[in-house]
Structure 1
Amino acid sequence: MGMLRDFLGRLVDAFSLTEAIAGPSIAGGRSPYSEHPANGMTPERMARILRAADSGEPLAYFELAEDIEERDPHYASVMATRKRAVSQLPITVTAASEDAADQEHAAFIQGWIDDGVLRRSLFDMLDAIGKGVSICEIDWQLRFGRQTPCQLTWRDQRWFTFDLTDGDTVLLRDGGIGTPLAPHKFVVHRHKNKSGLTIRSGIARVAAWSWMFKSFTVKDWAMFVQNFGQPIRIGRYGRGATEAEKDVLWRAVYNIAGDCAAIIPKDMLIEFQELSSKGSTTDMYEKRADWLDRQTSKLVLGQTTTTDAVSGGHAVSREHRLVQEDIERSDALCLTDTINAQLIPNMIAFNFGPQDRYPHVRIGRPDEVPLGEFAQAFWQLAPQGLTAPVSYIRDRMGIPTPKPGEDVIGGKPSGGGKGAAGDGGTDPALNAMMDRLFTSRNARQTPDDMIAAMNDRLNREAADAMDGMIDEVRQAVTGAKDLRDAADRLAKLQLAPDALAEAMAKGMTLAHLVGQAALLDDIKANA
């Protein structure tokens, strides 16, 4: 297959691109089977696991992080919400320049993205949010004469460790030692939720404590619910009872129902104090579990209203959603940096040779004004002189250009001929009326006279428009044979209300102008 050069100009054996390196291997210390350190977790054991990770042995920590995500429904839910929010964002490609070669490079990357390889891998790459790091092995294949990543295979973090020299360089476990990763074979995504070592920057490190305390609470709650309301069984034995007889008595009372049982001598007394409020006791468990869940929501999503029912209404929900969108953008930018630094340059270099500039892949929503705000702003600014190409408006709104002869809806009203609003002209009669209205203050009529004149003009123009439509309806009805025939004729009529609409528009315009004129008269009279 020959030799290739990566984006730094280093020679790479093309055969090594297709060879799997970091798969499971019992001999290499990469077991596909995981331990479950969450079983019987205690604060002391939790502290030992975290200290071991800090000291360069993260195996138990990675296993614990996976256990928590499997066992805690709330943590699993909010983590999946955060990862899915980013993994479904648009992916765009921008060429390095307008040069033909750069455009070809961008088209190659765009075609690969359209195949969905990157899209399918985003969720796995975002596993770094919880564990601090996520490693995907690149499976390069020769397709249509191009070296192309056909798959980004997620590799279990348990199969990797960190260099003890700097505590941050990722190494592959291989026979009990750590070996450096081939840069052209792996995409290592680091997601820092705090500054410091990668192993200490994952969300799971903080969530582990909330999970452990909640598991204690839920276990105590389950025991309480199981025994709530059951009677306490007490078995009494005599002074001369043997240990064997005591065992028999214990099994008898215990097997009646659950743990609420005891055996005591006949002359021994045990008193049970009844709680004043059992309801408040049960609420304590639920409140503590809910409080810990809310802390996890804040940790993962930055807010609580999208996952928990809290007071505050719609306004608070909108504010909290903005917080979640900020985190979404940050996660997307972090992914974008990883892909552009570790994947895209080699894709171009292996196929076109090392370049000075490379295409830029972007994950995230477009930085555009929302459609509602855009439409409102354009509607307000267009009368002030703002113009825009129709093609831009159609692209922005996602509305295709109609084909010739295709049925359409909407569009500008077509008044035809003179003064039609659709052709940008004005009505000479309307202009004359406006000129007369604002010729001079002395020539102006009183408001009552102007209103009367306006009403007469509107009545005449509307009457003419209505008469035209009424005549068509009258002809259809009088020419009908019966009621069914009349209904059919009326249904087939294509009445043109344009003249009536134009008359009404003129009337409303004149009414507005008359009101302004009257206001000017009042202001000048009182000046």
Structure 2
Amino acid sequence: MAESTIVDAHGRPIRKAELKKELAAPSMTGVRQVWHNGIASNLTPDRLGMILRAAENNDGHDYLTLAEEMEEREPHYASVLGTRKRAVSGLDVVVESATDDPADVRLADAVRDLVRDAVFGDLIEDLLDALGKGYSVAEIMWNTRGGQWWPREYVWRDPRFFRFDQATGRELRLIDPENVAQGVPLAPYKFIVHKPRLKAGIPLRGGLARLVAVSYMAKSYTLTDWLAFAEVFGMPLRLGRYNDSAKPDEVDILRAAVANLGSDAAAILPEGMKIEFQEIANTQGGADLFKGLAEWIDKQTSKAVLGQTMTTDDGSSQAQATVHNDVREDIQRADARHLGVSLNRDLVKPFIDLNYGVQRRYPNIRIHVPEPEDLKQLVTALKDLVPLGLKVESSVISDKLGLPDPEKDADILMPEQQAVTTVESARNQSLKTAQNRESVVTESEPDFAEIAEAEDDWQVQLAPLVDPIERLARRVADEGGNEEDFLARLGEVLDEMDETELVRRLASSTFKARGLGDAGDD
């Protein structure tokens, strides 16, 4: 078979004839089957220890089965793990060009078309299955259209179809009839392998299911014991009483009535017999014990998966949840970054190489995590800075606030003073148009010299009015009076106040202002 000159990240040449084949399909009787015996039903501490130790020795079949069942059987674990997955799958996928060179931009546009394909969204969900199990694999079903290679479908493959190499524990290999024990290398450009770096070490030991497995088992025991406790102590004790003259068949009737009363809630007894109900004391403590243990285990699971408990468990305030949500944001960013690395390595590079040849630089897929912004703080800052000369594009602010651009004839919100000015301006313009005349309004600069002259010696002008008030204030203070005493005695100084000089200066200034105004009109 002819080999391509294109090689993958491991230096293996591409066999284009294999790209359209389904290489990891399951079968009914082969080594890759979708049906497996359950693990969780008979899980014991010894059994769990054996499963985890087997995974440590590169036999992850039972561990992966348990991880699958944990998501199916434990509501809290399924909830928080789903929350973590959706925190990434719900983000926007951004394609960045390597440079502004037209050739690089063209490659980025091609990858954007790849990302916009409907099947890409399902791929993200499938790859995030690696969070629980440690790794996830999707097989690319390539097809050619218009002379280009395009993924027709991304098929999620059961992680039990693969195993890691025995030497390093990092190279994932496909279990195949040719080599069941060690597996065969994955065909280049056929598989997208996502191995999130949740911890250092081999991927098979890095899944969240391994971290939560003991808590899952402990909660299973807790719920089993709680149900047994509720069955025994959840109903009052039923006592049947009969007298010494009761016959054996009558005693049997009473025994059956007592035994079935819990479900039938009705009984027929011979005369002289009775059933009594007695509450069992001190049972509340047992119920609280089981409830507290189950809730504590749930909180540990929340910490393991989300990094916090405030947004999932009871007892949190809005402020606490906001603070703890920042911790979850760090995890979200890490998950998004790891997923972007896998997509760029196993999808973007193969797509570009097959269609455009090997490149020095490749477009980059980035899972965009938006920066949280305090919009109220932003608006306050703009209110203070724009009047000082800060230049900001209105479209940028509209985008941040999520507001669309207004239509041409739409009613537009504006400041109240500006709105009044606009209405008055429109009214005046209409009046001028109706009168069919033009007017030019000119404003002259104020004569600051005249203003300064008018304001000169203002203290001398006001002294006859202010001095009597100041003298009264000093007298009241010397006499130990207060503000009310001062206000009550203001009438005493009216005769002392002389407004003659102030009136004379006001009249003179008014006369000058009128004269200057008339001269300006000419």
TM norm structure 1:
0.70
1:119 to 118, 121, 141: 121
Q: 2:357 aligned with 1:365, yes or no?
A: no
Distance 1:370 1:430 in 2: 45
Partner in structure 2 of residue 388 of structure 1: 392
- Output the CA distance in 1 between the equivalents of 2:3 and 2:456: 90
Would you say the 8 A contact 1:89–1:364 is kept in 2?
yes
2:231 matched to 1:226?
A: yes
Q: How is 1:132-147 mapped onto 2 (pairs within 5 angstroms)?
A: 132-147=134-149
Gaps spanning 5+ residues in structure 1: where? Answer: 235-247, 259-273, 421-426, 450-527
Cα deviation digits, residues 486-510 of structure 1 (max 9, x gap): xxxxxxxxxxxxxxxxxxxxxxxxx
Q: Distance in 2 between matches of 1:440 and 1:183?
A: 91
Whether the 8 Å CA contact 1:7–1:354 is kept in 2: the answer is no
Could you tell me how far apart the structure 2 residues matched to 1:211 and 1:54 are?
Answer: 19
Q: Select 2:72's aligned residue among 66, 70, 73.
A: 70
In the alignment, structure 2 segments of 5+ residues that lack a partner are 241-251, 263-278, 427-441, 466-522
Instruction: Pick one of 348, 353, 358 that aligns with 1:354.
Output: 358
Give, in angstroms, the shift of residue 287 of structure 1: 0.7
Report the CA distance between 1:82 and its aligned residue.
Answer: 0.7
* CA apart distance, 1:382: 1.0
Give a deviation string over 1:45-81, Cα, whole Å, max 9, x none: 0000111111111000000011111100000011011
Secondary structure of the corresponding residue to residue 42 of structure 2: coil
Deviation of 1:255 (Å) = 7.0
Distance 1:257 1:432, change over 3 A: farther
CA distance in 1: counterparts of 2:456 and 2:210, whole angstroms:
80
Q: Tell me, yes or no, if structure 1 residue 208 matches structure 2 residue 213.
A: yes
Which of 407, 411, 414 does residue 410 from structure 2 map onto? 407
- Matches of 1:254 and 1:206 in 2, distance apart? 48
Q: 1:330 to 1:373 in 2, by over 3 A?
A: farther
Q: Which residue is equivalent to 1:334?
A: 338
User: How far 1:118 moved relative to its partner?
Assistant: 2.4
Q: What is the aligned counterpart of 2:284 among 279, 292, 303? A: 279
Moved more, 286-295 or 372-381: 372-381
The DSSP-based 3-state class of the residue aligned with 1:172 is strand
The amino acid across from 1:406 in the alignment is: D
Partner of 1:158: 160
Number of equivalences = 411
**Structure 1 counterpart of 2:324:** 320
Decide whether aligned partners of structure 1 residues 419 and 64 sit closer, same or farther in structure 2, where only a CA change above 3 A counts: same
Instruction: Find the aligned partners of 1:226 and 1:162 in 2 and give their Cα distance.
Output: 47
What amino acid maps onto 1:139 in structure 2? M
- Contact 1:192 1:202 survives alignment (8 Å): no
Question: Percent same amino acid among aligned pairs?
Answer: 38
Q: Does the CA contact (< 8 Å) of 1:135 and 1:157 recur in 2?
A: yes
- Residue 64 of structure 1 aligns with an amino acid whose one-letter code is L
Contact 2:163–2:172 (CA<8 Å) still a contact in 1?
yes
Mark the structure with the bigger radius of gyration: 2
Equivalence for 1:293 = 298
Q: Secondary structure at the match of 1:39?
A: helix
The letter for the 1-side match of 2:391 is T
Question: Alpha-carbon deviations, 1:82-114, whole Å to 9, x = none?
Answer: 101110101111111111111111111111211
1:266-298 CA-partner distances (Å, limit 9, x unpaired):
xxxxxxxx9751111111111111110111011
Q: Deviations over 1:234-289 (max 9, x none)?
A: 9xxxxxxxxxxxxx9xx98997589xxxxxxxxxxxxxxx9751111111111111
Residue 149 of structure 1 is matched in structure 2 by 151
Deviation at 1:441, TM superposition (A): 9.9
CA contact (8 A) 2:13 2:188 kept: no
* Cα deviations by residue, 1:427-450 (Å, 9 ceiling, x for unpaired): 9799999x979x98976999xx9x
SS of corresponding position for 1:343: helix
Q: CA RMSD in A?
A: 3.7
Q: Secondary structure at the match of 2:362?
A: coil
Deviation at 1:14, TM superposition (A): 2.7
